[in-house]
Structures are given as structure tokens and as C-alpha cells.
Amino acid sequence: MNMRAHFVTAALFALSGTLSAQWFDYPTKGIPRLPDGKANLNAPAPKTPDGKPDLSGVWLGDQWSPAGRRPNPPGEGRGGGGRGGGGRGGGAPEMLPWAQRVFDERRATSLRDDPEARCMPQGVPKASTLPYPFEIVNASNKTLILFEMYSLRRQIFTDGRELPKDAKDYAQPSWMGYSIGKWDGDEFVVTTAGINDQVWNIDLAGHPHSDALRITERYHRVDFGHMDVNVTIDDPKTYASQWTMPVMRYTLLPDTDLFEFVCEKNIDPQHMVGK
Amino acid sequence: MKYFLIFVVAAAPLLAHHSFAAEFDNKKPVELKGTLVELEWVNPHAWIHMEVTDPSGKVTKWDCELGSPNLLMRNGWRRDSLKKGDVIIVSGSQAKDGSNLANARTVSLPMASASSTRAHRAIRVLRARSRSRLIPPHRNPRTQVSQEGLTRSQLRVLDW
């Protein structure tokens, strides 16, 4: 078989294939590009009209992107951001005895009982560590994070409101919790609480939480194509002390948009034996 | 039938939207050659339903799990990448519970029988991903041609 013929025809198809592909490879408008037309991921980070860094865009964890994961700076924990989620390498937290028992049982059964396998939502920050992109959208008085996986979304209020201090003050604890965002220099600092007890694991490693969980995320858009997020977990009912996950690193996905993802038909759980 | 178009699932088992290890056994590799009954294009996983005929003529049904349609599409697949009646080879890992269920690592089909549109679309994505000009597969660092004449593309079918 003549492979050259295949490749030549492939080029012709590339011209005709655009129309049917306008949601996953439609060129993003208004982004910096290199002479060859590719997005310039190393261009400076954009700013919003009020001079703050503009975090908007479609982002994917480095470890899932074709270019691979950027290494952590010296001294920072390994792994994290993705499957390790802080549970491996330098970022392992010290758990209270009940949490350690739960965690060990989960690891021993290969996370079989994770409700995500039954199409239930992820929590924070786990939803940001998956191999599906999420999109940050600037809105008036809030920032939205739209997650492709399971079509979830977070609202981060930037209108000056404060989070209730105590767990009992959250009338309706939720999967994604309640979030407020403030700027600290070039970092967007998001604090989240009010996460419900149906959130099973806060990361892919399987770490548990209590109603005292408070998460602080610091978003830093390093340049046009790269963003780092530092996550600190504060949950005195679960962990012996506050701990920080290894930095989560994201690469911008240009020229694509989110798809709908409804977890509609799931036949796995009946086969999940765990061990 | 000399060339096969191979859709690579992943270099190593990945955690899925469910845990890989909770359901599948990477010590139970399977290679299934059979006929496609249906490519079921649903979330959270697309499925290959196929029939495998053993040397004695006995037909066995198998269900093979792929990634989600979203991931498959970003990696070059379309809902019509496989058609009923296609002869395919699926390699992957069998379910721990012993049922005729597998997590697909690669899916290959004869280039000659793949409709030209499907094959070319896949190659187009491969080419885009290789970030290079049109070059023959054996010279493409992201493509290997094995001794069996199989063209291993980098069209990953991530298992999530």
C-alpha cells in the first residue's frame, strides 16, 4: 500500500474537515500566534481592562497535555496536580487516625467506592486534576470555572462578600462548596468552604475531608500558555496540620472548546471488585 | 491487509473516571480479533461490542471499554471511526471478575477496510499531533512500524 497516497489525501481532508470540527478545533480568536500560526504559549500573560491578570481560557493539567508536565522548581514536592494529588512524594499530609484508616482502606480497594465511578460529581480541588479541560470565564462580580467532565461549574464571587466562618452557617453544603476570590498582587486567591459530606475524596489519591474543610487556591498565570495553582488544605478535623499540595500546573489549550459531558450510561460499578 | 491503523489507548493503564485497578487486571492481557457489532458512543465511556470466533467456530461476545467520546474525539476518533462488521483487533486488560469485559489499550483495523474518510481523518490528526510536515510513518518519531507491518499511531484513546 502506498503510504504517500494516504498522507497526500490526508492533507486534502484537512481542508474539508474543518466544517465538521468546529467545536473542538476551531481557532481561538485574538490570541498571540507564532509565524507558523500556532498559539504562542510563551507570550506574556494577558490582562483584563482593570489591569489584573486575565485567567480566562481553556486549561488542562500539564500531565495530561501532549507537551507533558513542567518540572516543579527545586524544593517543591513531586507529583501532585494529577493522580498523586498531593498524596505522594513530598506533599503527603499527616492525617488524624480516623482519616488514615479511611485513606488506607481506600488505597487497599483501589478507590473502588469513589462515587465518581457512579457518575457523581467530584469536589474541590479534585475536579481540577482530571484529564479533561476546564475553562475559566470572567464575569461581572464573579469568576466562573466550567469543567468539561460531568459538565460541572464553580462560581467564585469577587463582589466582596465573605465566607461564613463556621460549618453550621452553610445552609446548603454543596459538592463544589462556596468560593470567594480576591487579588493578591498577580495571584488570584480563592477560598472555598461549605463542601458537603458526599464529596468522597478531595484529590485523586483518595484523601478524605470533614465539614471543617477550607481550601485556599492561589492562581498564577505565569505567561500566556501556563498557569500554576497552589492549593492549601486546612481541615483540623481530618489533618494534623494545614498542608499544601504539590503545585498544580496547567497548560492552555488553544483552538478548542469544551464539550458537553453527561455521565449517561455507566456499566462499570457492577464489575468493580476492588482487589 | 498489510497496514493496520492502530488507535493507541494509552502507554500505561490510567485511572479512569473509575479506578482502573478496581475493575481491570493488567496481569490479564487479552488480544481479541473479531467483528465489530457496535461502537457505542456514550459517556462516560465509549464501548466496543464485538464477537470473537475461536478456532472451533464458537462465537463469544466481548465488551471493550474505551475513553469518553470527548477524549476520543480530541485524539482523532469520530463516532463513525469503526463500523459494524469491521474486523478489528483489540488489545487490553480483562476485568478482574473474569467476565468477557476488557479495557482497550489499542484498537486496530486494516487500513484497506477502513473507509478512506475514517483513515484519512485519523492520519490528519496524527499529522497535526506530530507537529511536523507530512513525513512517512517510519520516519515520524511519533509513529512506529512494527515487524508485522502495523502502523502505530499516537492516536491515544485515553481511558477516562
Domain count, chain B: 1
Identity of the amino acid at A188: F
Q: Which residues contact A83 (CB under 8 A, 6 or more apart)?
A: A63, A129, A204, A205, B15
Question: What is the 3-class SS of chain B, one letter each residue?
Answer: CCCEEEEECCCCCCCCCCCHHHHEEEEEEEEEEEEEEEEECCCECCEEEEEEECCCCCEEEEEEECCCHHHHHHCCCCCCCCCCCCEEEEEEEEECCCCCEEEEEEEEEECCCCCHHHHHHHHHHHHHHHCCCCCCHHHCCCCEECCCCEEEEEEECCCC
Query: Count of alpha carbons within 13 Å of A66, Cβ hemisphere only?
Result: 16
Q: Rounded to an integer, what distance in angstroms lies between the CA atom of residue B103 and that of residue B18? A: 12
Domain ranges of chain A: 57-267
Alpha carbon of A4: minimum distance to chain B alpha carbons (Å): 7
The pLDDT tens digits for A198-218 are 999 999 889 999 999 999 999
Of A71-75, A113-117, B65-69, the range with the lowest mean pLDDT is A71-75
Alpha carbon of A131: minimum distance to chain B alpha carbons (Å): 7
Domain assignment of residue B146, given as a range: 4-156
- pLDDT attached to residue B144: 31
What count of other Cβ atoms lies within 10 Å of the Cβ of residue B83? Answer: 14
CB < 8 Å to A14, chain B: 124, 127-128
For an interface test with B, the pick among A268, A270, A273 (most B C-beta atoms closer than 10 Å) comes out as A268
- pLDDT attached to residue A105: 95
Statement: residue A119 has pLDDT above 80: yes
pLDDT band at A80 (very low <50, low <70, confident <90, very high): very low
For an interface test with B, the pick among A8, A19, A203, A272 (most B C-beta atoms closer than 10 Å) comes out as A272
A269 to chain B, any CB pair closer than 8 A? The answer is yes
> Region A14-22: what's the mean pLDDT?
44
A152 to chain B, any CB pair closer than 8 A? The answer is no
Q: Which residues contact A168 (CB under 8 A, 6 or more apart)?
A: none
Q: Rounded to an integer, what distance in angstroms lies between the CA atom of residue A29 and that of residue A44? A: 17
The answer to whether B112 and B104 are in contact (CB under 8 A) is no
Cα dist from A259 to A134, B1, B125, B157, whole Å: 10, 35, 18, 17
Give the pairing of strands B150-156 and B4-8: parallel
- The H-assigned helical ranges of chain A are 3-16, 97-108
- pLDDT attached to residue A91: 60
The pLDDT tens digits for A85-109 are 333 334 689 999 999 999 999 999 9
- What stretches in chain B show pLDDT beneath 70? 1-17, 75, 110-160
CB < 8 Å to A16, chain B: none
The answer to whether the CB atoms of A6 and B127 lie below 8 A apart is no
A108 to chain B, any CB pair closer than 8 A? The answer is no
The answer to whether B47 and B40 are in contact (CB under 8 A) is yes
Positive/negative CA dihedral, A89, A90, A94, A95: negative
For A158, the grid coordinates are 469577587
Alpha carbon of B43: minimum distance to chain A alpha carbons (Å): 5
Q: Rounded to an integer, what distance in angstroms lies between the CA atom of residue A183 and that of residue A200? A: 30
**Distance linking the first and last C-alpha atoms of chain A:** 46
The pLDDT tens digits for A238-275 are 999 999 998 999 999 999 999 999 998 877 777 777 77
Residue with cell 474505551: B66
Q: Rounded to an integer, what distance in angstroms lies between the CA atom of residue A258 and that of residue A191? A: 25
Positive/negative CA dihedral, B108, B112, B118, B122: positive
- pLDDT attached to residue A191: 98
* 3 state DSSP class of A16: helix
Q: Which residues contact A101 (CB under 8 A, 6 or more apart)?
A: none
- What ipTM was assigned to the predicted interfaces of this complex? 0.76
Phi-psi group of A153: left, alpha or beta (phi > 0 → left; psi -120 to 50 → alpha; rest → beta): beta
Cα dist from A163 to A2, A22, A208, B66, whole Å: 65, 40, 22, 41
Alpha carbon of B128: minimum distance to chain A alpha carbons (Å): 10
CA R_g for chain A: 20
The answer to whether the CB atoms of B120 and A1 lie below 8 A apart is no
Residues of chain A above pLDDT 90, percent = 67
A34 or A64, higher pLDDT: A34
CB < 8 Å to A66, chain B: 129
Q: Rounded to an integer, what distance in angstroms lies between the CA atom of residue A207 and that of residue A123? A: 11
